[in-house]
Amino acid sequence: MELDESKYLYLLFILPILVVVFLYNQYWKKKKKREFGDLDLVKKLSPESSIFKPILKLVVLLLALTGIILGLVNPKIGTKMETVKREGIDIVFAMDVSKSMLSEDVAPSRLEKSKQIVSQIINQLGNDRIGIVAYAASAFPVLPITSDYSVAKMFLQSMNTDIVSSQGTSLDSAIKLSATYFDEKSKTSKLLILISDGEDHSEGAEAAAEEANKMGMKIITIGVGTEKGGTIPIRVNNVIQHYQRDNNNEVVITKLNQEGLKAIAKATKGGYVYGDNTKNVLEYVKNALNNIQKTEFESTQMADFQSQFQWFLGFAFVLLFLDVFLLERKTKWVQKLNLFNEKE
C-alpha cells in the first residue's frame, strides 16, 4: 500500500481534541445540572434524555472524520498485476569520462555538455530500454539495461572523471563492454550511442566496431569538443589549481578527432553527428531512431495501484447522514438494554 497525500494524516490529531472537548462539555453540563438542583430530580424532569446517545453521536462523528481524512490521504493498493507489452529498441550510452572531457572549449565543459545531450535524448525516448557505460583507458558498467529513465538520469548526473581510475581513452573497450549489454540471440534492435572527443589512445576501435556490426549493433557517434582544442583545467573545490601537463611539462591541448568517430560509425552503417548544437543532435538521433525497426519486448509484470479514497469518503458520508437522524433522547431498544443503569 502507498499513501498519495500522507501530509493529511496530521489531521487525525483533531480526533483526540474533539474527545477532550466532548468530555469537558459533559462535565460542564453535569456541573450546571448540580447548580440547578438535585441530579435525580433533574433526571426525572427530562426522562427521555439519554447518556448513551451523545456518546454514540461522538463515535459516529469521529468515524466519519476519520473516513474523510483517509479519503484525503488517498491510500493506494496494488489490486492486480497486469502484463505490459512494449515495442522499442535497446540503447547503450557510452560516455567518455577521460580527463580530456574536462576541457572547457565547449561550455560548460565537454563532460557536462555530454550529460546534457544524453539527458535530452532520454527525454525524447518512448518505450526503449537503455543502459550506460563509462570509459577512459578502460570501460566500466554504470547502469544495466533498464526502462527506468529516472534512475538512468540519476546515474548519468553522478558520472565524473574519477569513476574510472585508469586514464586515457579506449574506444574499443567501450564498444566491447557495450556489446555485452545486448542479448545476441534477441531480435531486438541494438544501438550504441558513443559520446567522446575522439582522442583514442588505444588501437582497435574500428575492429571492435566491425565485430559489433556482426552481432547486429549500430553505432551513432557524437563528437564533443572543438578541432582548435582546449586546455584541461584541474580543479580542487571547484577552483582551478593548474592545467594538465604532459611528460615534457608542456600544457596539454586536447582536440576533437572527428575522423576517428566517423570511421567507427561507418563500420556499423551508423552515423556521426557533431555535438556543438544540442538541438541538431536531438533531431539527428530522432530521425535515426525512426529508421530503426522496433520489436516487442517480453511481457513485464507491473503493479497497478488503485486509489481507494472513494470507499473512505462514501463510508464517511453515510455516517454523517445517519448522524442527522440520531437524536439525543432515548429510544425504546436502548431503554430495554439499560446500558448505563438508567432505570431505577
- Among 127, 165, 141, residue whose Cα is nearest residue 92: 141
Report the DSSP beta bridge partners of residue 91: 130, 191
The pLDDT assigned to 83 comes to 61
Rounded Cα distance between 73 and 309, Å, is: 7
- Per-residue model confidence as pLDDT tens digits over 285-337: 999 998 888 877 654 545 556 677 788 888 888 888 777 666 555 555 445 55
13 to 67, 71, 161: CA distances (angstroms): 14, 16, 51
Rounded Cα distance between 119 and 301, Å, is: 27
pLDDT tens by residue, the chain, 344 residues: 556 677 888 888 988 998 898 888 878 877 776 666 565 655 555 555 566 677 788 888 888 888 888 888 877 776 555 566 677 889 999 999 999 999 999 999 999 999 999 999 999 998 889 999 999 988 999 999 988 899 999 999 999 988 887 777 789 999 999 999 998 777 888 999 999 998 876 678 889 999 999 988 999 999 999 989 999 998 888 788 888 888 889 998 999 999 999 999 999 999 999 999 999 999 999 999 988 888 776 545 455 566 777 888 888 888 887 776 665 555 554 455 554 454 54
CB within 8 Å of 335: residues ≥ 6 apart: 342, 343
The pLDDT assigned to 218 comes to 94
The pLDDT assigned to 338 comes to 53
CB within 8 Å of 1: residues ≥ 6 apart: 75, 76, 77, 78
The pLDDT assigned to 339 comes to 47
The pLDDT assigned to 333 comes to 47
Domains in the chain, start-ordered, CATH in brackets? 2-79+305-337 (no CATH), 87-230+256-296 (3.40.50.410)
